Amino acid sequence: MTAPGVHCVKRALRQITTYRPAGAAQQTQPSGSAARLPHLIVRSYRHFAGRPLLSDDENGMSDEQLTRALYESPVVVAAHDFTGGSAAPVFTYANQKGLDVFETNWHHFVGCPSFKSADDTRFHERLALLQECLEKGCVRVNAIRQSFTGRLFQIQDGLLFNLLDTPGGATATTVGQAVAFATWQYLDSISEERSL
């Protein structure tokens, strides 16, 4: 069986740079236009959820602090772009917890078509959820998804939300969608839980 990461879109790999938290193995983080993603995710989450994703002082964080805090958060966060055309959205971001849950690494995740997160039996349910989010701005998620190794996991009480270029702005444009969830369970093992 070919790993889903093999089929990833290569263009997203040009947007990464090296980032190494103190005492951690080498990790990668977005740079260039992709470096805006942590800010878009945090601001859009606050806009739709009405509360901070990270902490009450996230507005006072420097770019580096916010990027690091999101990447190291115990809450699973993943995002895909929104092309609006016939091209399938591709993953543009996952924090370390997201990469762990999806059982992959940054290079295989970023640029990979996001439909690979749902197995064939849940493909249409996923599309309906994405469309509902696009229309409403955000929706609660209780769904089964699959990791890059094919392992199924249940998302419990997650939030799928649109990424807005200027959250709260009169001319905000949806540029992607993200999901955040703290409670999940592999269907073949004991759950990992965190409070969101």
Q: Is the pTM of this model over 0.85?
A: no
Q: What is the per-residue burial (b if ≥16 Cβ within 10 Å, else e) of 35-68? A: eebbbbbbbbbbbbeeeebbeeebeebeeeebbb
CA 185, CA 18: separation in Å to the nearest integer? 30
Q: For the chain, what are the domain ranges?
A: 34-193
CATH superfamily membership of 34-193: PAS domain (3.30.450.20)
Largest CA distance in the chain: 47
Tokens of 75: 């809450």
CA 111, CA 97: separation in Å to the nearest integer? 18
In angstroms, what CA-CA distances link 146 with 9, 122, 126, 138, 151? 19, 10, 12, 21, 5
Per-residue confidence of the chain (196 residues) as pLDDT tens digits?
333 322 222 222 222 222 223 333 333 444 444 568 999 999 999 999 999 999 877 888 999 999 999 999 999 999 999 765 557 899 999 999 999 999 999 999 999 999 999 999 999 999 999 999 999 999 999 999 999 999 999 999 999 999 998 877 778 899 999 999 999 999 986 444 444 4
